[in-house]
Amino acid sequence: MAMTVNNMTFDAADARKLAEFWAVLMGWVVFYDDDPEVLVAPHFPPSGTSMLFIPVPEGKTAKNRLHLDVQPTDRTRDEAVAQALELGATLVGDFRKDDGSGWVTLADPEGNEFCVERSADERPQPTGVRAHRIG
């Protein structure tokens, strides 16, 4: 049996504002109505994996146990990092190397950590990749 990731869900002090940050960064669309929850998805109608932002009264108090690794599809890693910072992200750690590899860890405006990796065009072509299904 298999499953699909439907939503990546974020608790948020301001669900709409945080959803708008992620929508611009990802190039996705914000969907909302009178419900306080806000959805961000790649297209209309929303289908496949999306991001769901739910308002909660308490703030973030600890490091994420799970985070997103995002990979730009229409720009470089460094351009995506610059855009995220302009949108209100903060730098957590810069792990870029002189050879162009590495990633940058950022926090969104509410402190959720995420990493920006190199785009596919910036990566060398993989060789000898193996996959193994368990179960």
Which helix or strand (DSSP H or E) is residue 38 part of? strand 38-41
pTM for the structure as a whole: 0.87
For residue range 20-64, what is the model confidence (pLDDT) as tens digits?
999 999 999 999 988 899 999 998 877 888 999 999 999 888 888
Contact between 18 and 108 (Cβ < 8 Å) = yes
For residue range 56-84, what is the model confidence (pLDDT) as tens digits?
999 888 888 899 999 999 999 999 999 99
Residue 80: helix, strand or coil by DSSP?
helix
The rounded distance, in Å, linking the Cα atoms of 116 and 23 is: 15
The rounded distance, in Å, linking the Cα atoms of 118 and 79 is: 10
- Exposure string (b/e) for 14-28, b if CB count within 10 Å is 16 or more? ebeebbbbbbbbbeb
> C-alpha distances in angstroms, 103 versus 12, 30, 43?
25, 27, 27
Residue predicted with more confidence, 3 or 87: 87
Could you tell me the domains of the chain? 1-59 (3.10.180.10), 61-124 (3.10.180.10)
The DSSP letter of residue 48 is S
Number of Cβ within a 10 Å radius of residue 112: 20
